[in-house]
Amino acid sequence: MNILLLGGGGREHAFARSIVQSKLCSQLFIAPGNPGTAQHGKNVPLGVTDFEAIKKCCLENKIELVVVGPEDPLVQGIYDFFVADKELKNIFVIGPSRDAAQLEGSKAFAKEFMQRHKIPTAAYQSFDANSFEKGVEFIRTLNAPIVLKADGLAAGKGVLICNSMDEAEKEFKEMIHGKFGVASEKVVVEEFLHGIEMSVFILTDGVNYLLLPAAKDYKRIGEGDTGLNTGGMGAISPVPFADDVLMKKVVEQMIIPTIDGLQQDKLVYKGFIYFGLMIVNGEPFMIEYNCRMGDPETEAVLPRIESDLVDLFMGVAHEKLNEKKIVITDDYAATIVLTSGGYPEFFEKGKIIKEINSIKNSIVFHAGTIQQNNELLTSGGRVLAVTSLGKTLQEALKSSKASATKIQFDNKYFRSDIGFDVLQS
């Protein structure tokens, strides 16, 4: 079958690589894609939220399956768009309905869902301009650090961790007054959880689910988890501390109540769910839901899945995921993201990337690159993600570090300490 993949980052390069390995895939189209996805299919220059253009592309290319990488089209209702259109109704979309995508699109919605379905999470309340004074009062009942979250999508920037009550009050005021535009007209104020983070992923048809490999991502720009938050500087999979005891708790306390909750609330969900967890003294707490796979976690997770990914998607489409099995390698995966120096603040683009073709022991995923004439140039903050597999985490990290060192472009930066926290413990 012909497949359309939406998105153009490292996550989508990883998806493209796995999708074309499927015996069910005839031709893959990627919109808009990048020079990495172009190695596996045909890039089409479309915006991921331009639903009419996507429709045209699907009809012209006899697409039967649409796989959605980023959250924006999902939150804007691409699933519903396909279901509602007579010409598109035989095309399956891997992703949640617009209502279900609110699990990522609205932090307040997600917190209410967790509370309603008794899923452990940090104590919180949400406020808007009308309840501003109550918000300030609530902040004064908390101990620092205090977590403030813009309700809506804010390109990963809408969460502030305030180290004092004064800072929290000041930021809260700015957020309610539009610091993140409409996204922060409503603000979730919550207690800070001290623990270690990890991400768990499932693929669900709304009734059944398959547990994907767990991962841990590294969001801060600096070594030792310091400095500004980024889209993600690296990831490892599996997570060494996620033993059977912890995963049993995650399944019983998070995954099953989420699937049951979606059904009770009549939220149609046929796609990936990303559970962002904080493990506090061995107990899992939900930090956030994402209605998609993570980036760069996908680049560490997908290379470990040996099953035919498109076959699993068919299980989702036909609500027969219970008949599918997921096979995962025991090997470790370690992903290191190469960024343009200065990211996540100011950085320059257009630097020539060299030595990428000499990499033998890692998979090199493109995130922010552009092909110009015969040269590959940087075109974003996160430029490449290198993933290596190894019998141990140390071995996988060593290969990825060697590859990250070998690839050259001006002002290249990467964290050489990915995995440091789990290797210490």
Residues binding ligand GLY (CB under 6 A): 217, 232, 290, 294-295, 297
> Least distance (Å) from ligand AMP to the CB of residue 291?
13
Q: Which stretch binds ligand AMP (CB under 6 A): 8-16, 173-181, 192-200, 320-328?
A: 192-200
Residue 17, binding choice from ligand GLY, ligand AMP, none, Cβ under 5 to 8 Å by partner class: none
Between CA 214 and CA 190 the distance in angstroms is 25
> Least distance (Å) from ligand AMP to the CB of residue 113?
14
CB atoms within 10 A of CB 332: 23
Assess 287 for contact with ligand AMP (CB under 6 A): yes
Between CA 268 and CA 246 the distance in angstroms is 28
Residue closer to ligand AMP, measured from CB, 149 or 351? 149
> What angle, 0 to 180 degrees and rounded to 10, lies between the N-to-C axes of helices 132-141 and 165-176?
160
Amino acid letter, 61: N
Assess 288 for contact with ligand AMP (CB under 6 A): yes
Residue 250 tokens, joined: 């995650």
Residue 225 tokens, joined: 């988890």
Residue closer to ligand GLY, measured from CB, 363 or 367? 367
Between CA 65 and CA 156 the distance in angstroms is 28
Q: Number of residues in contact with ligand AMP, rule: CB under 6 A? A: 13
The separation between the first and the last C-alpha atoms of the chain, rounded to the nearest angstrom, is 46
> Least distance (Å) from ligand AMP to the CB of residue 287?
5
395 backbone dihedrals φ, ψ, rounded to 5°: -65, -45
Lay out the site mask for ligand AMP across 193-232 (x = CB under 6 A, - = otherwise): x---x---------------------x-------------
CB atoms within 10 A of CB 103: 26
Residue closer to ligand GLY, measured from CB, 305 or 314? 305
CB 108 within 8 A of CB 276: no
Between CA 194 and CA 242 the distance in angstroms is 17
Q: Which stretch binds ligand AMP (CB under 6 A): 36-44, 185-193, 329-337, 360-368?
A: 185-193
Residue 32, binding choice from ligand AMP, ligand GLY, none, Cβ under 5 to 8 Å by partner class: none
Beta-bridge partners for 425 = none
Residue closer to ligand GLY, measured from CB, 22 or 290? 290
Residue 190, binding choice from ligand AMP, ligand GLY, none, Cβ under 5 to 8 Å by partner class: ligand AMP
Give the number of C-alpha atoms closer than 13 A to the C-alpha of residue 311, restricted to the C-beta side: 13
DSSP at 332: E
CB 326 within 8 A of CB 312: yes
Assess 190 for contact with ligand AMP (CB under 6 A): yes
Residue closer to ligand AMP, measured from CB, 262 or 279? 279
String of b and e for 274-287 (b: at least 16 CB within 10 Å)? bbbbbbeeeebbbb
Secondary structure of residue 41 in the 3-state scheme: coil
> Least distance (Å) from ligand GLY to the CB of residue 9?
10
Residue closer to ligand GLY, measured from CB, 186 or 382? 382
Using DSSP bridges, classify how beta strands 369-372 and 375-378 pair: parallel, antiparallel or unpaired.
antiparallel
CB 49 within 8 A of CB 36: no
> Least distance (Å) from ligand GLY to the CB of residue 16?
17
CB 421 within 8 A of CB 196: yes
**Closest residue by beta carbon to ligand GLY:** 294
Assess 147 for contact with ligand AMP (CB under 6 A): yes
Residue 232, binding choice from ligand GLY, ligand AMP, none, Cβ under 5 to 8 Å by partner class: ligand GLY
CB atoms within 10 A of CB 98: 19
> Least distance (Å) from ligand AMP to the CB of residue 290?
8
Residue closer to ligand AMP, measured from CB, 122 or 422? 122
> Least distance (Å) from ligand GLY to the CB of residue 110?
13
Q: Looking only at residues 61 through 120 of this chain, which bind ligand AMP when binding is defined by CB under 6 A? A: none
By CB under 6 A, name the binding residues for ligand AMP: 122, 147, 149, 159, 190, 192-193, 197, 219, 276, 278, 287-288
